[in-house]
Amino acid sequence: MEPENKAEPKKVVFSAIQPSGTITLGNYLGALKNWIALQDRYDCIYALADLHTITVRQDPAAFRRNTLEAYALLLACGIDPSKSLFFIQSHVPTHAQLAWILDCYTQFGELQRMTQFKDKSAKHPDNVNAGLFTYPSLMAADILLYQTDLVPVGVDQKQHLELTRNIAERFNGIYGPVFRIPDALIPEKGAKIMSLQDPAKKMSKSDSNVNASVAVLDRPDDIMRKFRRAVTDSEACVRYAPGKNGINNLMGIYSCVTGETMAQIEADFAGKGYGAFKAAVGEAVAEHLRPIQERYADYIKNRDYLEQCWNESGQKAFSISVRTLRKVMKKVGFLPPRRR
């Protein structure tokens, strides 16, 4: 009798998002919607990266409120605590502990080359702090703690993942195979949702133009208004083509929320102008977000349930991550404490 084939273990996926205010349609379609889809195929570990958030000065009360609301909203978007770990980064101290060790295996020149450091330094010249500079080492710790196989990233985040891989390979080269080397998982659709007012740049919650981004919790009337005012071009033809950044972005958004291909969208709106298409995109987005908003309204009223979810996930995340941390500390040569 031949032995039964054991099912191969699922690959581990890790990703995190900052709770620094409004979660936009770009965040949802570009990242969160894909997080939800991954839960049945992989062992998913998700976090609210609140330690990363304080590289920019925060108002304490607003920071706490944003973290609570972001946790409730991500559950409403579809993160399922029965399938995935979903915790708050600062609740799991192994992240900060490993980050310091990795700082000592990250080269100054590598951190200087990080695009995000340059961009944020320019935006916040009065607060170019050490945490902002070493931010990528903390991100590397987030990923490497869980022996992660795959990291869902947008095309603009690949630089940080490449640094994570470099740090892991450097450490492994000195001490042996301690860390698994993670690969990028780039979604086929919705990888980069652009501003509605300047489609050459990414949709951002920090944009000073209120019509440039749509928040997941925006009211339907506001969603419709923002899409009606979206920048397109003078051709007035719903056609996906190089250089047509505005209409390409709207078609990409419509495709993400309806599942239609670009060819189907072009056929549906043949002979129709941009006005009709913008209205259709707004309506489709508002309808897609409606059940998320309804679930959020229920979750945000149930603080006990939210605390139960993040506490249970945080405890499990610590149990997994501390094994990696202990192995790292042993390899480096730290004297172990007495086990309590």
For 21-36, letters b (16+ CB in 10 Å) and e give: bbbbbbbbbbbbbbbb
Q: Would you list the DSSP string of 73-112? A: HHHHHT--TTTSEEEEGGG-THHHHHHHHHHTTS-HHHHH
Q: For residue 242, count other CB atoms closer than 10 A to its CB.
A: 6
Residue 202 annotated as catalytic: yes
Residue with tokens 């006005």: 275
* Paired tokens of 139: 């991100």
Number of residues assigned to the chain = 340
Catalytic position from the list 83, 205, 327, 331: 205
- Cα separations in angstroms, 208 against 112, 123, 198: 27, 13, 12
Using alpha carbons only, how large is the chain's radius of gyration in Å?
22
CB 97, CB 60: distance < 8 Å: no
- Cα separations in angstroms, 3 against 6, 8, 197, 241: 9, 15, 61, 55
Residue 226 annotated as catalytic: no
Residue with tokens 């273990």: 9
CA distance 223 to 228: 9
CA angle 140, 142, 143 (to 5 degrees): 65
Residue 14's H or E segment, with its range, is strand 12-17
Residue 10 annotated as catalytic: no
Q: Determine the residue type at 90.
A: S
Question: Which of the residues are catalytic?
Answer: 120, 202, 205
